[in-house]
Amino acid sequence: MFLAKINDKGLKFSSVFEDFFGPVESFFDPYGFDKKISTKANVREDEKEFLVNMEVPGVDKKDVNIDVKSGVLTISGERKETHTDKKSNWSESYYGSFSRSFTIPENVKIEDISAKQENGILSISIPKIQEENKKESPIKIEIK
């Protein structure tokens, strides 16, 4: 099983266009007038867990929300503008809200999901349910 990226319109797989230019929304709004920021995420899987690493530079952990509902992991938050200097003529920093959602498979321990944020990277660990190695012992059936 794998984690799948979704958006407001449902399941989404990245296109060649988005891989090159970034999200379609930011391509048509390069100055960020819609006040939504794009966050990059990497998803890794091994035999024990799924690990989601998301870039959230400049975002305080108190401004990040992580929820799981109906098999969907949603990470949302806001990067708030920190300076109050009104004399700036040019700013290349993006401020605003973000939201990313991923479908999660059924073989995970939702109650054991954990997260930490360090050096601008949010790391979310999603442990898998480990199937115990069951050794079948022969059962003798008596014929009556």
Q: Which residues of the chain have pLDDT under 70?
A: 1-36, 83-92, 132-137, 139-144
Evaluate whether residue 64 is within a structural domain.
Answer: yes
pLDDT at 67: 93
pLDDT at 124: 95
* Torsion of the alpha carbons at 24, 119, 52 and 114, rounded to the nearest 10: -140
- 3-state SS assignment for residue 25: helix
pTM above 0.75, yes or no: no
Evaluate whether residue 87 is within a structural domain.
Answer: no
Evaluate whether residue 138 is within a structural domain.
Answer: no
pLDDT at 130: 83
Q: b/e string for 85-94 if b means 16 or more Cβ within 10 A?
A: eeeeeeeeeb
Cβ–Cβ under 8 Å, residues 52 and 88: no
- Number of separate domains in the chain: 1
Evaluate whether residue 137 is within a structural domain.
Answer: no
Could you give the CA distance from residue 126 to residue 104 in angstroms, rounded to a whole number?
A: 9
pLDDT at 33: 47
Could you give the CA distance from residue 103 to residue 52 in angstroms, rounded to a whole number?
A: 12
What CATH number has the domain bearing residue 31? Answer: 2.60.40.790
Could you give the CA distance from residue 11 to residue 91 in angstroms, rounded to a whole number?
A: 34
- H helix runs in 1-144, sequence order: 16-21, 24-28
Evaluate whether residue 53 is within a structural domain.
Answer: yes
pLDDT at 96: 84
Domain of 32, in residue numbers: 4-82+93-127
